[in-house]
Amino acid sequence: MGSNRCCSEYVPAKGETVIGIITAKSGDVFKVDYGGSEQASLSYLAFEGATKRNRPNVQVGDLVFAQFVVANKDMEPELVCIDGSGRANGMGVFGAAGLLIKVSLGLVRRLLAPHSDLRADLEQLFPCELVVGMNGRIWVRAASVQQTLILANLLQSCDTMTAPQRQQLFRRIQMGAL
Amino acid sequence: MKDTPLSNCERDFLLKAIEEKRRLDGRQTYDYRKIKITFGTDYGCCFVDLGQTRVMAQVSCELVAPKESRPNEGIMFFNLELSPMASPAFEQGRQSELSVKLNRQLERCLRNSKCIDTESLCVVSGEKVWQIRVDVHTLNNDGNLMDAASVAAISALCHFRRPDVGIQGEEVTVYSPEERDPIPLSIYHMPISVSFAFFQQGTYLLVDPCEREERVMDGLLMIAMNKHREICSIQSSGGIMLLKEQVMRCSKIASVKVSEITELINKALLNDKTARKAGGRCGFAESMPQERITALKMDQTSVEMTDVSETVSSIVQTAEAPPQTVPSPLVPVPGVGQIGEGLCNTWGLEEEEEAEEDDGESSGGDSVAEVTKMEKEQHKDDKSRKVDVVEILDSDEEEADVVILYPETTKKAKNIGTGQKGAATSRKQQKK
């Protein structure tokens, strides 16, 4: 969407984890769109347990949770799905049956903050899975399609609410009004 | 710049949700998003918001020579532009496929339906006719640009006023809006397009698809109709096979939607007319709500206010006395000033013992004695004056220091100055 006021462009930074979409497979490298001005590259060896013979099962259009190892203004950004010791540590391909939404960078940081009350409020609602990328992308999955949609819409509207408004809204949902 | 690609999981989720008859924003299958129509200050300028999709239409007119095949009719010209502001996928200047398609659809909807009486646009047959030009600009793309564009175009045409003309023999005078009131166009009916998106080979349909739904759809059916239930244009794209019953059902839905939208347009036109008559503020600037956060706005935080006064007084009593502030610069030594809070400089006190041991103390002492003697003299001479600015050139110091002297602090300066000057010179000699 063009003039979405809440979303500013994400600038990659080394060590930040983001949700990327695989756009192309060229040789040994995947091209990943993370919402920035360029596409990042992700080597097929940068997955846990990947070797030259044992390639990871990654298709174009898949979602990956990866972190930046190279992210400066002079070079093409590079992503990897393993940490320093070679373990996945939660990164890699994911995404079956969930919904990807775009939110503002501020909301994402609020969610990932150490003692975030936004997260505490969300935990009270219903069981769900969330993958939060620092590039403003959130993947949600709940028990049913309706719950996933409710959660997605909640997160997008939480952005511009104050804490009491948000808590009031969450309470209404818990009572089953929506 | 390329648009964000659609991931597989989004596509799967959207299709699954549609099978369960759920839409992303919670609408029902046949629901339109909220439509908002506003007009600008000029006649013929119209903004339409369809949810987050935003388009603007502007109508203008010009006197030109008519087409040779139709010397009695005016000319209608339509132009729809996909601005890069609307979506990163739109590139400036390039005629993309979508742009061509939308232009064609808009033309068929408005021109071929003969909604405007073009013969009334004729001024002098064969020589001068009015050319009405409708420019539609897309400002934000959140799906279903076609419907928004058609609503904007027809609203703008209804809103537009062309200048009045007077014909006397061969002379044609165009009156300005101040001389004679401009005349509205003669519009027979209002064709409005309704879009239907089809999924899973035509099994499921949605009215007014948003941008993500448009990305996963198989095909699109666009029906342009007016409120008299006359179909002005039908177009099916995407190559899906539709059954006759489906098309009939869509046309029934379209007639309901078109009558609702036509009412909305008429209401908006009426509101604008009354606002203009009342002389109220209308136009572009007013139609933009100020939704920006321009200042740091925080909710009031509640503060615990019980026994504040007792706590405060106890704190004040137990606390130390605040450090004395020196209101004016204190000059311990030439070149060193002290102002404001803080303890008194203890340099001089510590270094006094050290300086006594040193050799270079005598010379330092002499110059300081000179300094203080000068100060004393100044003090005696200029008792009346409060502030003295005296340049003191010391033999030891390379720079000329401008020092502000006060009579009160002179003595203090003398005491400390001795030690400090001695210390300064002793250190200098140590360095050497």
B293-347 tens-digit pLDDT:
555 555 555 666 667 777 778 887 887 777 666 667 767 677 777 666 666 665 6
Inter-chain CB pairs, A–B, below 8 Å? 80
CA end-to-end span of chain A, whole Å? 27
Cβ burial of B109 (10 Å; 0-12, 13-18, 19+) is buried
Residue appearing with tokens 């029902």: B28
Judge whether A9 and A102 are in contact, CB under 8 Å.
Answer: no
Q: At B370, is the pLDDT very low, low, confident or very high (cuts 50, 70, 90)?
A: very low
Assess whether pLDDT exceeds 90 at residue A169: no
Judge whether B140 and B49 are in contact, CB under 8 Å.
Answer: no
pLDDT attached to residue A2: 42
Residue appearing with tokens 């388009």: B55
- Residues of chain A above pLDDT 90, percent: 42
H or E segment to which residue B214 belongs: helix B211-216
3-class DSSP state for residue B338? strand
Q: Which residue has the higher pLDDT, B119 or B278?
A: B119
- Is residue A2 in some structural domain? no
Whether A87 and A23 map to the same domain: the answer is yes
pLDDT attached to residue B148: 95
Whether A90 and A103 map to the same domain: the answer is no
Query: Among B49, B191, B75, B66, which residue's Cα sits nearest to residue B134?
Result: B75
Judge whether A105 and A136 are in contact, CB under 8 Å.
Answer: yes
Show the tokens assigned to B205: 């349909």
pLDDT attached to residue A42: 94
Cα–Cα dist B366/B387, whole Å = 26
Least confident of B144-153, B174-183, B254-263: B174-183
Judge whether B205 and B214 are in contact, CB under 8 Å.
Answer: no
Cα–Cα dist B424/B363, whole Å = 12
- Taking CB atoms and an 8 Å limit, are B85 and A35 in contact across chains? no
Cα–Cα dist B264/B32, whole Å = 13
Show the tokens assigned to B25: 């924003």
pLDDT attached to residue B361: 40
Q: For B254-278, what is the mean pLDDT?
A: 92
Q: At B14, is the pLDDT very low, low, confident or very high (cuts 50, 70, 90)?
A: very high
Judge whether A130 and A140 are in contact, CB under 8 Å.
Answer: yes
pLDDT attached to residue B359: 40
Whether A83 and A103 map to the same domain: the answer is no
Whether A81 and A112 map to the same domain: the answer is no
Q: How many C-beta atoms lie closer than 10 Å to residue A133's C-beta?
A: 25
Domain range holding A45? 17-94
Beta strand ranges found along B141-262 (DSSP E): 161-162, 165-168, 171-174, 183-184, 192-199, 204-207, 219-225, 231-237
Assess whether pLDDT exceeds 90 at residue B425: no
Query: Among B48, B80, B17, which residue's Cα sits nearest to residue B212?
Result: B17
Whether A49 and A69 map to the same domain: the answer is yes
pLDDT attached to residue B30: 92
Q: How far is CA A163 from CA A116, A152, A168, in A?
A: 11, 18, 9
Mutation target for A interface from B3, B9, B54: give the one with most A CBs within 10 A: B9
Q: Which residues pair with B412 in a beta bridge?
A: none
pLDDT attached to residue B257: 94
Judge whether B223 and B157 are in contact, CB under 8 Å.
Answer: no
Of the residues A94, A113, A147, the one at which a domain ends? A94
Complex ipTM tops 0.90: no
Helix, strand, coil content of chain B in percent (nearest 5):
35, 25, 40
Show the tokens assigned to B136: 């539609």
Chain B residues with at least one Cβ partner in A under 8 Å? 1, 4-13, 16-17, 20, 22, 24-26, 52, 54, 84-88, 139-142, 211, 291-292, 299
Assess whether pLDDT exceeds 90 at residue B47: yes
Mutation target for A interface from B1, B6, B10: give the one with most A CBs within 10 A: B10
Least confident of A140-149, B224-233, B263-272, B284-293: B284-293
User: What total of structural domains would you count in chain A?
Assistant: 2
Of the residues A36, A69, A94, the one at which a domain ends? A94
Residue A139 touches partner B, C-beta closer than 8 Å: yes
Which parts of B71-177 fold into alpha helices (H)? 97-110, 145-159
Cα–Cα dist B423/B427, whole Å = 6
Q: Name every chain A residue with its beta carbon within 8 A of the beta carbon of B55.
A: none
Strands A92-94 and A63-70: antiparallel
Whether A170 and A106 map to the same domain: the answer is yes
pLDDT attached to residue A119: 87
Whether A104 and A65 map to the same domain: the answer is no
Q: Which positions ≥6 away from A20 have C-beta within 8 Å? A: A32, A33, A34, A40, A42, A63, A64, A65, A66, A79, A133, A135
Q: For A77-84, what is the mean pLDDT?
A: 91
- Taking CB atoms and an 8 Å limit, are B9 and A95 in contact across chains? yes
Mean pLDDT of chain A: 87
Cα–Cα dist B208/B314, whole Å = 69
- Is residue A166 in some structural domain? yes
CATH of the domain at A43: 2.40.50.140
Judge whether B174 and B165 are in contact, CB under 8 Å.
Answer: yes
Q: Summarize pLDDT for B54-65 with one digit per residue, the tens.
A: 999 999 999 999
Judge whether B148 and B50 are in contact, CB under 8 Å.
Answer: yes
Q: How many C-beta atoms lie closer than 10 Å to residue B418's C-beta?
A: 21
Q: At A9, is the pLDDT very low, low, confident or very high (cuts 50, 70, 90)?
A: confident
- Is residue A33 in some structural domain? yes
H or E segment to which residue B379 belongs: helix B361-381
Mean pLDDT of chain B: 78
- Is residue A42 in some structural domain? yes
Assess whether pLDDT exceeds 60 at residue B373: no
Assess whether pLDDT exceeds 90 at residue B355: no
Nearest CA in chain B to A142: B13
Least confident of A84-93, B141-150, B291-300: B291-300
Nearest CA in chain B to A162: B299
Q: How far is CA B287 from the centre of its chain?
A: 14
Whether A129 and A63 map to the same domain: the answer is no
Of the residues A94, A120, A140, the one at which a domain ends? A94
State the angle between helix axes of A145-158 and A163-174 in degrees (0 to 180), rounded to the nearest 10: 170
- Is residue A127 in some structural domain? yes
Q: How far is CA A101 from the centre of its chain?
A: 9
pLDDT attached to residue B266: 94
Nearest CA in chain A to B16: A145
Judge whether B121 and B130 are in contact, CB under 8 Å.
Answer: yes
Show the tokens assigned to A119: 């997260």
Whether A119 and A165 map to the same domain: the answer is yes
- Is residue A3 in some structural domain? no
Residue A6 touches partner B, C-beta closer than 8 Å: no
Residue A27 touches partner B, C-beta closer than 8 Å: no
pLDDT attached to residue B358: 42
- Residues of chain B above pLDDT 90, percent: 42
Least confident of B31-35, B56-60, B84-88: B84-88
Query: Among A130, A30, A8, which residue's Cα sits nearest to residue A80?
Result: A30
Q: How far is CA B121 from the centre of its chain?
A: 40
Query: Among A79, A2, A70, which residue's Cα sits nearest to residue A34?
Result: A79
Q: At A3, is the pLDDT very low, low, confident or very high (cuts 50, 70, 90)?
A: very low
Whether A23 and A84 map to the same domain: the answer is yes
Whether A42 and A90 map to the same domain: the answer is yes
Q: Which residue has the higher pLDDT, A150 or B415?
A: A150
Query: Among A34, A14, A12, A15, which residue's Cα sits nearest to residue A23?
Result: A34
Show the tokens assigned to B70: 């139709």
Q: Which residue has the higher pLDDT, A17 or B323?
A: A17
Q: How many C-beta atoms lie closer than 10 Å to residue B8's C-beta?
A: 17
- Is residue A11 in some structural domain? no
Gyration radius of chain A over CA positions: 17
Whether A85 and A23 map to the same domain: the answer is yes
Assess whether pLDDT exceeds 70 at residue B351: no
| Phi, then psi, of B343 in degrees rounded to 5 | -75, 165
- Kindly report each contact of residues B290-293 with a partner whose C-beta sits within 8 Å and lies 24 or more positions away, as own/partner: B291/A5, B292/A5
CATH of the domain at A147: 3.30.1370.10
pLDDT attached to residue B414: 44
pLDDT attached to residue A133: 94
Assess whether pLDDT exceeds 80 at residue B102: yes
Q: Name every chain A residue with its beta carbon within 8 A of the beta carbon of B84.
A: 2
Q: How far is CA A77 from CA A37, A66, A72, in A?
A: 10, 12, 7
Least confident of A22-31, B113-122, B223-232, B375-384: B375-384
Assess whether pLDDT exceeds 60 at residue B386: no
Q: Summarize pLDDT for A20-34 with one digit per residue, the tens.
A: 999 999 888 999 999
Q: At B262, is the pLDDT very low, low, confident or very high (cuts 50, 70, 90)?
A: very high
Q: Summarize pLDDT for B201-253 with one digit per residue, the tens.
A: 888 999 999 999 999 999 999 999 999 999 999 999 887 888 899 999 999 99
Cα–Cα dist A13/A69, whole Å = 8
- Is residue A110 in some structural domain? yes
